[in-house]
Chains A and B, each alone.
Chain A
Amino acid sequence: MHYSTLKSFLITTRKPKYFLFLILPISILIGRFLPFLSQPLNDIGLTLIQLISFPAIPLVLSAVVISITSIFSSKEEQDLEKNNFAKTLLFTIIIFVVSFSFLAVLLSLYSKPGILSPEGKLSIGRFMLDVTDINVVVNSNPIIEDVVKPSFWKSLIPTNIITDVSSGQTLKVISGSILAGLGLSALPKETSQPMISFLRSLNTLSVKVLDELLVLSPLILICLIAGAMASISAEIIVALLNLAICILLASVASLGVAKLILRKFTTSAEREKFDINPADSVFLLALSTGSSMACYPTIVKSLQEIGRSKSGTEASASLSLLIARLGNVVYNVIVIIFALNLYEVRLTPLVLFQILIFGIFTGISAAGLNGVAVLPTIGFALAFFAVPLPPILILLIAIDPILTLARSAITGVLSLAITTISTR
């Protein structure tokens, strides 16, 4: 079989019908009937994800710098238009963040995650036995902390953009890129042009590499789902079914909203240029890679194909994918409500408002974090409500291989929606 045939076959399998009728059944069958393969498959899946993440940092760096430069360095006659774009983008992001966190609250009130049946409580209780025990020593020398505690704000400030890139500190890379973009936009065009050209080349290269690597996404999906099916306790999945359903519902609702927005904010002439609905492609891509950043090339390419401006789509897609992180916001709101329900905290209107605020801030503060690294961000909110974090984390980690896919899908499709609105 030629590489081109294999590649076109793998690309074809990224369509929804192949996902539902080919990939999902194969993965479930492998996971259920060949459980001894779960660990190797899981390892292969994670390795492939690591491979896909390889062009992420140069992509983030180049996309953000180019976007910021293109927004702020404009000719006089374009100033008004650019200003409007920036305002629309900011306004759209704020509206999306608030409305989707509100939707997450409504979905949680409907599906009641964390309110468990006696069997569910028993399953969770059994799952927590021994693993959450706290072993302490009393007669050790207490640690006197002379080191300044790591703070969120400090983690935002870039130290040296090259060091930050090489050490993979995404959050610092984003803030450093914004500053670099602002600096570039302030320079005369002839001075900034060589750097912009270099960044454009770097961006094109990163997108191309990512695009080629994404061919592997159906294989990643099979490995991860099969691995998860064999390794995740079915009992825990059943016990946490309400939580999983709530997050999956949120991802499906996001897909619906993204499709609706694509319909409302594109002309019929624009829609005719689509081979496949980009919302479906982005949704499946995020589901199969667990990485919302992997959707960046698809979002940009789809909207450029219908004639949207290159700089606008790049700016909007990169900022909404990297900073707004709607998947994390929605996920955190649902998970906080799950924790509060589990510990029988009454959900008064005031508490729901507090959850909304905490969900938004902890979700956005997870910018630059992926996978299970996102989970501890809810600790601040749980401490406020006097709900313990460790048992919640253990439960979330147990089903995170499934939920992380939905979380990325929400970020991906809503970024597409934001980009569609802001570049109209």
Chain B
Amino acid sequence: MRRIINCLIVIFIFITSFFSSNISEAVEIDYIKKIKDRGSLIVGMPPFNNPPYYYKDSPPEIEDSKSMRGNDVELIRKFAKNLGVNVFFDQSSSSFNETVNRAGAGDFDIAIGKLSTNYSRMSNAHPHIYMNFRQSLLANRSFLSKFANVPEQNLGSEILQSNIKVGFISNSSYETSAKELMPYAIKKGFSNWDECKEALINGTIDAIYRDATEIKKIVYQDPNLSIKFVPVLFDDVKDKISIYLSTEANTGLSDVLEYYLDEEEIKTDTQILNEFSNYYKPILSKK
């Protein structure tokens, strides 16, 4: 009799644990359930290769999620792994702003790709900050020689209040920031970063405007340029880099995403430059 009772207890425990495990895998949050049912997280990315954040060997228009690499890519892959799904990267947007807009419209579950945070973008999608970079200029030293007599503490504001000819990528957050921060500057938008650099080097503009990692990358990769141009790093004007979600996605994913980002450290530009020093170090053979 006692043996029968023991058998019944074992059977009961087995059945209970079987059902309870089914209960724990049940997903009650609709949005997460939708992702899990689909089996993949759809991630919107800007239509560029932007190492060391996101890049692949093939051009952005060719869809090849598996070959994507970089800091942002690995961050999202790890997040998707925590959700138990794969990742599909969509680079079909035409600009940074459109990537955010489409995330807000629900075309993607989330959008990532070194996307800056500003009020305009926050009207379209919900940001979750994961990197915090100093905003910077790469400025012509000859232009800066005008400020030789300005006290160090006033230099930042004097440069921003000057009639500096500044270039940036059109339709990027820096276009918005330039309008706010540099009211008297002669502003010029370019379709991509290479065009900005070219304009600076050929003297069309006095400075180009972006975050510290992109600015320092230019002089690290071609140290010749540091004779004529110098990074001006604004210690208290930050470019907060965010992951963007639609309202629906934010309702469903916000807690889990914040929990995940809380475990990951919010990286600064200095940390990125150190972590990816192999990528940023000067090209020694360059003449």
Known A138-B160, A383-B148: A132·B230 in contact at CB below 8 Å: yes
Across the A-B interface, the 5 shortest Cβ-Cβ residue pairs: A136-B156, A125-B223, A388-B141, A118-B287, A138-B156
Which of B153, B220, B287 meets A129, CB within 8 Å? B220
Residues of A within 8 Å of B, CB-based: how many? Answer: 32
Which stretch from B42-50, B233-241, B245-253 is at the chain A interface? B233-241
Residue of B nearest to A123 (CB): B223
B residues 232-269 in Cβ contact with A at 8 Å = 232-237
The reply to whether A143 and B234 form a contact with Cβ atoms under 8 Å apart is no
User: What CA separation (Å) do A129 and B228 show in the bound complex?
Assistant: 12
The answer to whether B129 has its CB under 8 Å from any CB of chain A is: no
The answer to whether B274 has its CB under 8 Å from any CB of chain A is: no
Which of B145, B237, B282 meets A389, CB within 8 Å? B145
The answer to whether A151 has its CB under 8 Å from any CB of chain B is: no
The reply to whether B232 and A119 form a contact with Cβ atoms under 8 Å apart is no
Per-residue contact bits, chain A 380-392, to B (CB 8 Å; 1 contact, 0 not): 0011001111110
The reply to whether B151 and A122 form a contact with Cβ atoms under 8 Å apart is no
Residues of chain B whose beta carbon lies under 8 Å from any beta carbon of chain A: 141-142, 144-146, 148-149, 151-157, 159-160, 181, 219-220, 222-228, 230-237, 282, 286-287
Residues of chain B lying within 8 A (CB to CB) of residue A390? 141
Residues of chain A lying within 8 A (CB to CB) of residue B227? 121, 124-125, 128, 342, 391
User: What CA separation (Å) do A24 and B144 show in the bound complex?
Assistant: 42
The reply to whether A136 and B234 form a contact with Cβ atoms under 8 Å apart is yes
Dominant SS among interface residues on chain B = helix
Residues of chain B lying within 8 A (CB to CB) of residue A126? 223, 226, 282
User: What CA separation (Å) do A137 and B146 show in the bound complex?
Assistant: 18
Residue of A nearest to B148 (CB): A383
Which of A128, A143, A387 meets B145, CB within 8 Å? A387
User: What CA separation (Å) do A424 and B230 show in the bound complex?
Assistant: 55
Per-residue contact bits, chain A 125-149, to B (CB 8 Å; 1 contact, 0 not): 1101100111111111011010000
Residues of chain A lying within 8 A (CB to CB) of residue B222? 125
Residues of chain B lying within 8 A (CB to CB) of residue A124? 227
Known A129-B219, A145-B151: A137·B226 in contact at CB below 8 Å: no
A residues 362-421 in Cβ contact with B at 8 Å = 379, 382-383, 386-391
Per-residue contact bits, chain A 336-348, to B (CB 8 Å; 1 contact, 0 not): 0000001100000
**Can you name 29 A-B residue pairings with CB atoms under 8 Å?**
A121-B224, A124-B227, A125-B219, A125-B222, A125-B224, A126-B226, A126-B282, A129-B282, A133-B232, A134-B233, A135-B233, A136-B233, A137-B153, A137-B235, A138-B156, A139-B236, A143-B153, A342-B227, A382-B145, A383-B145, A383-B148, A386-B145, A386-B146, A387-B142, A388-B142, A388-B144, A388-B145, A389-B148, A391-B227
Residues of chain A lying within 8 A (CB to CB) of residue B232? 133-134, 136
| Other 5 A-B pairs with CB < 8 A, given A134-B230, A343-B142, A386-B145 | A118-B224, A125-B225, A142-B153, A386-B142, A389-B148
User: What CA separation (Å) do A129 and B226 show in the bound complex?
Assistant: 7
Per-residue contact bits, chain A 269-292, to B (CB 8 Å; 1 contact, 0 not): 000000000000000000000000
Residues of chain A whose beta carbon lies under 8 Å from any beta carbon of chain B: 118-119, 121-122, 124-126, 128-129, 132-140, 142-143, 145, 342-343, 379, 382-383, 386-391
Residues of chain A lying within 8 A (CB to CB) of residue B234? 136-138
Distance of B164 from chain A, by nearest CB (Å): 13
User: What CA separation (Å) do A202 and B153 show in the bound complex?
Assistant: 46
Residues of chain A lying within 8 A (CB to CB) of residue B223? 122, 125-126, 128-129
Residues of chain A lying within 8 A (CB to CB) of residue B149? 383
Residues of chain B lying within 8 A (CB to CB) of residue A129? 219-220, 223, 226, 282
Residues of chain A lying within 8 A (CB to CB) of residue B224? 118, 121-122, 125
User: What CA separation (Å) do A137 and B156 show in the bound complex?
Assistant: 6
Residues of chain B lying within 8 A (CB to CB) of residue A391? 141, 227, 230
Distance of B39 from chain A, by nearest CB (Å): 46
Residue of A nearest to B219 (CB): A129
Residues of chain A lying within 8 A (CB to CB) of residue B220? 129
Residues of chain B lying within 8 A (CB to CB) of residue A382? 145
The reply to whether A134 and B155 form a contact with Cβ atoms under 8 Å apart is yes
The reply to whether B155 and A136 form a contact with Cβ atoms under 8 Å apart is yes
Distance of A127 from chain B, by nearest CB (Å): 8
The reply to whether B226 and A122 form a contact with Cβ atoms under 8 Å apart is no
User: What CA separation (Å) do A390 and B232 show in the bound complex?
Assistant: 13
Residues of chain B lying within 8 A (CB to CB) of residue A132? 226, 230
The reply to whether A133 and B228 form a contact with Cβ atoms under 8 Å apart is no
Distance of B81 from chain A, by nearest CB (Å): 37
Distance of B232 from chain A, by nearest CB (Å): 5
Which of B141, B142, B236 meets A137, CB within 8 Å? B236
User: What CA separation (Å) do A132 and B232 show in the bound complex?
Assistant: 9
Known A128-B226, A143-B153: A122·B237 in contact at CB below 8 Å: no
User: What CA separation (Å) do A105 and B235 show in the bound complex?
Assistant: 42
User: What CA separation (Å) do A383 and B233 show in the bound complex?
Assistant: 23
User: What CA separation (Å) do A343 and B142 show in the bound complex?
Assistant: 8
Residue of A nearest to B155 (CB): A136
User: What CA separation (Å) do A129 and B230 show in the bound complex?
Assistant: 9
Distance of B95 from chain A, by nearest CB (Å): 27
Distance of A39 from chain B, by nearest CB (Å): 27
Distance of A395 from chain B, by nearest CB (Å): 10
Residues of chain B lying within 8 A (CB to CB) of residue A125? 219, 222-227
The reply to whether A133 and B153 form a contact with Cβ atoms under 8 Å apart is no
Distance of A401 from chain B, by nearest CB (Å): 22
Residue of A nearest to B286 (CB): A122
The reply to whether B231 and A134 form a contact with Cβ atoms under 8 Å apart is yes
Which of B144, B231, B287 meets A122, CB within 8 Å? B287
Residues of chain B lying within 8 A (CB to CB) of residue A386? 142, 145-146
Residues of chain B lying within 8 A (CB to CB) of residue A133? 230-233
User: What CA separation (Å) do A133 and B139 show in the bound complex?
Assistant: 10
Residue of A nearest to B160 (CB): A138
The reply to whether A143 and B142 form a contact with Cβ atoms under 8 Å apart is no
Distance of A389 from chain B, by nearest CB (Å): 6
User: What CA separation (Å) do A388 and B230 show in the bound complex?
Assistant: 10
Distance of A367 from chain B, by nearest CB (Å): 23
The reply to whether B228 and A343 form a contact with Cβ atoms under 8 Å apart is yes
User: What CA separation (Å) do A181 and B129 show in the bound complex?
Assistant: 72
